[in-house]
Amino acid sequence: MGNPSVELPDNIVTYWYEGHCPRTGAGLRLPRTPQVEAISRQLMATLAADPLHAKEGKMYGVLLAQTAQGEIRVLRAFSGLLNGEGTVPGWVPPIPGRAQVALAETRTLAALEAIKAELITLQTLPVRGELADLQHTYNQRLAQLADLHRHRKGDRQHQRQQLAATLAEPALTRALQDLDRQSQQDGLERRRLKRERDEAIAPLQAQVAEADQRLQALKRQRQTLSRQLQQQMHDAYRLTNFAGQSFSLATLATTGLPTGTGDCAAPKLLHAAAVAGWRPLALAEFWWGPAQGDKVSGQFYGACRDRCQPILGFLLSGLSDPWPHSPDPGADAVGIWGGDRGSPPAALLGEPLSRLEPLPLLYEDADLLVVDKPPGLLSVPGRTGDHQDSVLSRLRCIHPLGDRLQAVHRLDQATSGVLLLAKSQDSLRHLQRQFQTRQVQKRYLARLTQAPAAPQGTIALPLWADPHQRPRQWVCGERGKPSLTHYHVLSTGGGEVRVDFQPITGRTHQLRVHAAHPDGLNAPIVGDRLYGPPEAGAEARLYLHATTLTLNHPRTGNPLTLSSPVPF
């Protein structure tokens, strides 16, 4: 076995705010560090104690900066308005220029609200429902008439065959002509019903067409007003960078920027620091308040793609030192990297900074590295800049072979337990082949919300990932991939239901869906906010832990069992 734990230094970077200098094209970046995240969490605690901050969800930001005298200062900002106010004591003020467009903004927003109200009215006009009902009624009548005509046509065809076999001319001709007249009458009946339909729905269609025409006009008016306000804001807003340059957003927006650019927390903070002549050290942004889209309260996020990312290069221009950066040991200023020298003065923050929890090392040799992944941490970096903190990225920062490490498999962000990494491509290929051919035995322990109907058994429910609702998985017989899980109830005493899972396949969220689905155990895992009951959000974590991996060593071929104690 290896050392009991891997200590992560405080200078690990969890995200980079990056851009390119518009003058030189040089890459510029500013880190988000554990220290500034700790300061942000203290701000979250302050926000949580104030009910006013719970009414609306928004982005907040914290900037750790160094003054010319070497003092460390903490700046904080909110995006947009806070409870309807742009300037709030204790917070960085808006970008200069907002006051110049405040009246125009108020008038435009009022006009946009009026347009929105009229759009809703036009989209929900009763005549739309009346038209749909009438069209449905006539469609049903036409379908019924078509069925009747098909039946009559079949009867006439049968009669023609009988008449041809039993009648001679001229009686046969007269009989066939009578059948032809019946066919013509059916055609006339169908045309009369269609004409009746068209006459009935024409007035309603005219009203709907008029409403749709008004809708399109309002949408064009809304677009024009929004563009006018956007242009006014971009002409008025002026940003300053660390090179001492000041430009309006209109000057920077060579390809156009959306309304709201400059109102985000990061531009406010960087502009304020640049104007004050302070050197930025670390920046963090987080969402607080009711969830909105993919934004979750208390989570850190990177620069928004449309509003902040295009102007980051300008805002960071003038920073003289490359990153990563270590403070000058002889400086009087407090460093940003943590430790004894890295903690800001108590008078500034009120209490000391927290440190990152260590990653316990379960096993290590020349080919493998196994850690005990904590819940809430990704196994590998995500696709976007605000999801870079992970087991793999942290280990790559501190391990001597960090650039060679590769995750052999993954655990859900909410799941804890045994996570296996390879130190070479040969080991990675060998181990992944074992996973693919199902030679690896995996065991998980979970707490369920209730006892399953049977104490043990097998769950076979095919799983499908709807591309429009990722990462959620669905049970789908047509599109789903085969998924197999063995389970065994370990105990049900003391108000806890503890179950041992042995997944045979390795689908995303397999155990969570197999536990929660009515055709599975019908007993969600405790703390499962995605598949469990609404009250699952009150739990501190998902009670699912990867306890054991049993595999063959990639070099020796000998069986190897890797285990992690259950933390709950």
Contact status, residue 489 vs residue 457, Cβ threshold 8 Å:
no
DSSP 295: B
Answer whether 10's CB lies under 8 Å from 336's CB.
no
CA dihedral (319, 325, 330, 334) positive or negative: positive
DSSP-derived secondary structure letter, 320? -
Options 412, 466, 519, 528, the catalytic residue: 412
Per the annotation, the verdict on 412 as an active-site residue is: yes
CA atoms within 13 Å, Cβ hemisphere of 124: 6
Q: Residue 55 corresponds to which amino acid?
A: K
Task: Using CB atoms within 10 Å of the CB of residue 461, give its burial: 0 to 12 exposed, 13 to 18 middle, 19+ buried.
Answer: buried
Pairwise CA distance, residues 347 & 452, whole Å = 54
Q: Is 497 helix (H, G, I), strand (E, B) or coil?
A: strand
* CA neighbor of 19 nearest in space, from 223, 242, 297: 242
Q: Give residues with Cβ within 8 angstroms of 63, minimum separation 6.
A: 36, 74, 75, 76, 77, 269, 270, 272, 273, 280, 282, 283
CA distances from residue 118 to 113, 114, 219 in whole angstroms, order as listed: 9, 6, 10
Beta strands 559-563; 544-552: pairing state: antiparallel
The pair of three-digit structure tokens given for residue 6, joined into one six-digit string:
């891997």
Distances (CA, A) of 1 to 75, 257, 361, 560: 45, 55, 9, 12
Query: Alpha-carbon torsion 366, 367, 372, 377, what sign?
Result: positive
Alpha-carbon dihedral 201, 207, 209, 212, rounded to 10 degrees: -140
| Residues that are catalytic | 412
